[in-house]
Amino acid sequence: MKKLWQKIDWIVETILGSAAFALGFALFLDPNDINTGGVSGLAMVVRELLGFGSVGTLTMLINIPLFLIGGAKIGKKFFVGSFIGMVLSSVLIDVFALIPWNAPEPLVSALYGGVLCGAGLGMVFVAGASTGGSDILVRLLKKRYRNVPIGRISIFFDTTVVLLTGIVFKDISKALYSGVVVFVCGQVIDAVVYRFDYSRVAMIISPEHEAIAQAIGEKLDRGATYLHGAGSYSKKDMEVVLAVVRKGQLAELKELVMNIDESAFVIVQEAHQVLGDGFSHYSPDAL
């Protein structure tokens, strides 16, 4: 039953993500001749050069060789998910283009289109699929450069298409607006892909370190670690309590510490991709 729900969730995320991407592209970007880069943006450029065709159809045609390469390299699930994403996003771009709609001015369209497209692509990536084309190449590059966030890879790759947009349409403003879309889209992709993976690391210096560590375990259900230290001025040995908590537990942690020792010295910093018991687990296919 659990595996069935996982499959359903995977398909639903792919469908919703593809629909969000297509909606943002068709309603906000295409009417203003601006794009997110990638294959959909390349299809827009090709359409302008040919003088005929639809973005959805051209996207599907350009996708075919890239889709086959990506499916062979990344595996069956990615192949099937990418096929669903590619067909849905391509078809829905043309369907949503039929909606009677007066697109806002270019800057507003770039911002809203970038958010919608980024959210859609992020959902599809989380599902372990893609909308085809450059998304496939981005996933392949991510497997090669594992320390680089996927949104940054996407921004780098899409810049070329943005430059082509300015050249083909002979309008630098379209390239500049497309650059805004690419940036916003990349940021939103990272926000969606890594949305559940931000925690907080707290280092607490207090003579009441034992009581604080015990309270963290009992009230927050989180472990704590002692780091052995010494004051540079006092020369006294001390224990620094190191604890990792979820973002939503930070306020409770600070209140807990202050109730025990209001003069405690607390340092909090953001942690990304915490691996281990109670947090996420390592996967070679993780984004």
- Residue 255 tokens read as 């209140």
The pLDDT assigned to 254 comes to 92
- Residue 37 tokens read as 């880069």
Over 70: is that where the pLDDT of 283 sits? Answer: no
Round to whole Å and give the CA distance between 93 and 113: 13
Nearest alpha carbon to residue 150 among 123, 115, 189, 184: 189
Q: Looking at this protein, which amino acid is placed at residue 66?
A: L
User: pTM for the full model?
Assistant: 0.65
Over 50: is that where the pLDDT of 287 sits? Answer: no
Over residues 71-116, the pLDDT tens digits come to 666 667 777 777 788 888 888 988 999 999 898 999 999 999 999 9
Number of other residues whose CB lies within 10 A of the CB of residue 171: 14
Q: Mean pLDDT across the chain, nearest whole number?
A: 82
- Residue 203 tokens read as 């280092």
Over 60: is that where the pLDDT of 34 sits? Answer: yes
Domain boundaries for CATH 3.30.70.120 within the chain: 198-272
- The CATH number of the structural domain formed by 198-272 is 3.30.70.120
Over range 213-236, report the average pLDDT. Answer: 88
Is pLDDT larger for residue 243 or for residue 78?
Answer: 243
From edge to edge, which strands make up the β-sheet containing 198-205? 224-230, 237-246, 198-205, 265-272
- Across 7-21, 183-197, 200-214, the highest mean pLDDT is recorded for 200-214
Q: What percent of the chain lies above the pLDDT cut of 70?
A: 83
